[in-house]
Amino acid sequence: MIKKSGIYTKGGDGGETSLIGGRRVPKNHPRIEAYGSVDELMAHTALLRDMIDDEIIKQDLLQILDLQMSTASRLAADCEDCPVKLPELKMSNVEFLEERIDTMDAELEPLNGFILPGGHPVISQTHVVRTVCRRVERMIISLSIELEIEDIIIIFYNRLSDYFYMLSRKLAFNKGIVQAGWKPGVGK
């Protein structure tokens, strides 16, 4: 006889799921939407990482994936004394992103306007990651209206989307691609 997989419990078949701490909520609860969107962001970030050859950037993205998972676990927790120790997000994690942003910015020409996504699949994927990250940030802010959310989580996602914007520019620079600038009215 085949042993039952632990991947399915049937506990969510009625449209509810459990938060860390045990409370059951609908699967469309804002908390589930927020950490589910972090999960989506992680998948896009992993795809981007798989598309990149630069080992330093790949290592940075691996660290970012770990931090994303840490924030997802904190968003999924609904307990003062959780049964598991949740990983902390620290200001040093935000400073890590700021350092990377500043390093990339120092290598690039200043912008004179908005750029349009595209030019190469890896650049386009970086913009997908950036925009999904912005959505995650908006969802967490919406959640923070209902629940107390740690400020550091909101700060982290704000800075992370800035990181992905700069990474798109850095990847374009590394590939010798001049990114198209937005010219208002051209698309009329």
Q: Which domains does the chain have, with CATH numbers?
A: 26-79+117-175 (1.20.1200.10)
Read off the tokens for 27. 């699967």
CB neighbour list of residue 48: distance below 8 Å, 6 or more residues apart: 61, 122, 125, 126, 128, 129
DSSP 3-state assignment of 181? strand
- β-pair partners for 25: 17
- The sign one gets for the Cα dihedral 149, 155, 158, 161 is negative
Closest by Cα among 95, 33, 30, 48 to 67? 95
184 phi and psi, to 5 degrees?
A: -55, 135
- β-pair partners for 181: 115
Q: Which amino acid is at 57?
A: I
- d(C-alpha 38, C-alpha 157), whole Å: 10
- d(C-alpha 185, C-alpha 43), whole Å: 35
Instruction: Per residue of the chain (188 residues), give pLDDT as tens.
Output: 777 767 666 655 566 656 555 566 656 677 777 888 998 999 999 999 999 999 999 999 999 999 999 998 888 776 666 666 777 899 999 999 999 999 999 999 888 888 888 889 999 999 999 999 999 999 999 989 988 888 999 999 999 999 999 999 999 999 998 877 677 776 66
Tokens 């990847």, residue? 171
Predicted local distance difference test score (pLDDT) of residue 41:
98
What number of CA atoms fall less than 13 Å from residue 47's CA on the CB side?
Answer: 16
Predicted local distance difference test score (pLDDT) of residue 140:
94
Contact 125, 9 (CB under 8 A): no
Contact 129, 48 (CB under 8 A): yes
Give pTM, 2 decimals.
Answer: 0.86
